[in-house]
Structure 1
């Protein structure tokens, strides 16, 4: 039987079931790449209608993305398909949501960019619920105003998770896109998401030829508490997946903690020279859950980045 110490930590937070650490973003203006993205090994493929699509191509990109989303709805298996719509504070975002509703072409996820308050999220959630769609609504936080507004954003009913956009945040705040410069907003995002019981996903790493830098940043995202990280190229996916999968040593230590706690009869005990109480048991359970969610591609060698 489980000890009370283990049972006390076994209730999973709302974000514990999230099992999609590797996301891949693809511009909605390049429909020839959609199938390639689906077969890339990403757990979530995100087609973009916002910054990556020029104004004169918005209508064509919207039609291509939603047609693909409609076809994917009828397909079984494969990754989840998300769509990053335009800001719903503007006409293009409203057209995106209206086209989804009118054609019943709802993807698995809708990502709302430049979220700075719960109001914009509520509008999209209402549209999804009115259509009785199973679509998740995520918020993309990419400005200082969004970071300041996090307490209200993450508590919006129907919000499934949040993503961080480092490039827009850096442009708006006047800082560089470096690890040190992003510590504060990333920590704020993870903390707010954890308090609301929803997952947070880290920003992309933009240097395509720097696999070591990607690995360092992905491991840092794990340390901070992010549930996943976005890739901008398929060659980044394996590094991200490997970073979010616990190492054999981590898994061994976690299992030792759980075994010690199970035999403690409900009291604080020790394992591997460390005291074991509820916080360490909860952390060990999180490691075991991460191992159970690790994709198969974590067993393959990391590919070299290509230009």
Structure 2
């Protein structure tokens, strides 16, 4: 993969409602996905596969990467989704693969969609206990670009609630495995559409855990998520100061403001600056 995997704020829109496509594409989210899986009723899936191709037609939005969530690739619907995607004249930049439980699921999608001219970013949707058990192998799949956590299906599979405490272990394990593999982790949507304070609280908590972004299913949540996951000017300035001080210190521990700065803080500052630079590059080149 020659370009960084997209992170930040994701919005997901149903594939059988093309009237929503323009607003999703123009939402300003870092990633907009058209969904062929859970949000599409079974009877509407054949039409959705045809309709969704319009989501990727030119002109492409300036600041938003476009992708698709397919059905589970080992099911009939997943196979039909992959066959349809392979024939799209304009290809998605991202493919989100649900119910991933082994590297094989990613290999199947790569085998179906990769061509000499195009290889989409493949994100694994982690939403079952078995997936959590197999995370060390999943995150090291040859073609994986990132992971996304699915709280709703995980809560159903384990019999727990979607509240913060029951989800904390799974979220922490996901972030740790993704960090070990050097790939981004994106958090699940927040499902109470009107509780913006709850959304902000959860978004700030998952960012503090190490998630690189969070998804949503309604434009009403975009403003809050964008504010949480976009580095502020003050954060960027502080990161630049840390990196500059470290470079001038020749590897020694150094004080910046009220903090003693060592290698882990310097690496975190460099990562923040790299993400900010990648976002700027995407905006300029899109």
Deviation at 1:103, TM superposition (A): 4.2
- Corresponding residue SS for 1:163: strand
- Corresponding residue SS for 1:263: helix
Distance 1:294 1:237, change over 3 A: farther
Structure 2 partner of 1:38:
25
Question: What TM-score comes out, normalization by structure 2 length?
Answer: 0.90
Contact kept, 8 Å, 2:200 with 2:225, in 1: the verdict is: yes
Distance 1:284 1:78, change over 3 A: closer
What stretches of structure 1 of length at least 5 have no aligned partner? 1-13, 296-307
Q: For 2:230 and 2:66, how far apart are their aligned partners in 1?
A: 22
Question: What TM-score comes out, normalization by structure 1 length?
Answer: 0.84
Contact kept, 8 Å, 1:29 with 1:53, in 2: the verdict is: yes
Structure 2 partner of 1:117:
102
Structure 2 partner of 1:27:
14
1:225 aligns with 2:205: no
Which has the higher mean CA deviation after the structures are superposed, 273-282 or 163-172? 273-282
Contact kept, 8 Å, 2:6 with 2:31, in 1: the verdict is: no
Structure 1 partner of 2:196:
211
Structure 2 partner of 1:240:
225
Distance 1:97 1:120, change over 3 A: same
1:202 aligns with 2:187: yes
Match of 1:50 among 33, 37, 55: 37
Contact kept, 8 Å, 2:5 with 2:146, in 1: the verdict is: no
1:181 aligns with 2:163: no
Contact kept, 8 Å, 2:97 with 2:106, in 1: the verdict is: yes
Which has the higher mean CA deviation after the structures are superposed, 59-68 or 196-205? 59-68
Distance 1:164 1:76, change over 3 A: closer
Deviation at 1:100, TM superposition (A): 1.6
Distance 1:127 1:27, change over 3 A: same
Q: For 1:98 and 1:265, how far apart are their aligned partners in 2?
A: 55
Over the residues paired in the alignment, what is the CA RMSD in angstroms? 2.3
Which has the higher mean CA deviation after the structures are superposed, 72-81 or 197-206? 72-81
Per-residue Cα deviation, 1:253-306 (whole angstroms, up to 9, x for no partner):
4333223213213322222233222111112223334444568xxxxxxxxxxx
Give the alignment of 1:90-109 within 5 angstroms. Answer: 90-109=75-94
- Corresponding residue SS for 2:260: strand
What stretches of structure 2 of length at least 5 have no aligned partner? 281-286
- Corresponding residue SS for 2:249: coil
Structure 2 partner of 1:304:
none
Structure 1 partner of 2:153:
168
Structure 2 partner of 1:283:
268
Structure 2 partner of 1:261:
246
Equivalences, count? 280
Q: For 2:128 and 2:61, how far apart are their aligned partners in 1?
A: 37
Q: For 1:238 and 1:121, how far apart are their aligned partners in 2?
A: 32
Deviation at 1:197, TM superposition (A): 1.2
Q: Decide which structure has the larger Cα Rg and report it.
A: 1
Contact kept, 8 Å, 1:18 with 1:227, in 2: the verdict is: no
- Corresponding residue SS for 1:270: strand
Higher relative contact order (CA closer than 8 Å, sequence separation 6+): 1
- Corresponding residue SS for 2:114: helix
Q: For 2:177 and 2:27, how far apart are their aligned partners in 1?
A: 31
Q: For 1:144 and 1:21, how far apart are their aligned partners in 2?
A: 25
Deviation at 1:250, TM superposition (A): 3.6
Contact kept, 8 Å, 2:5 with 2:145, in 1: the verdict is: no
Q: For 2:54 and 2:136, how far apart are their aligned partners in 1?
A: 35
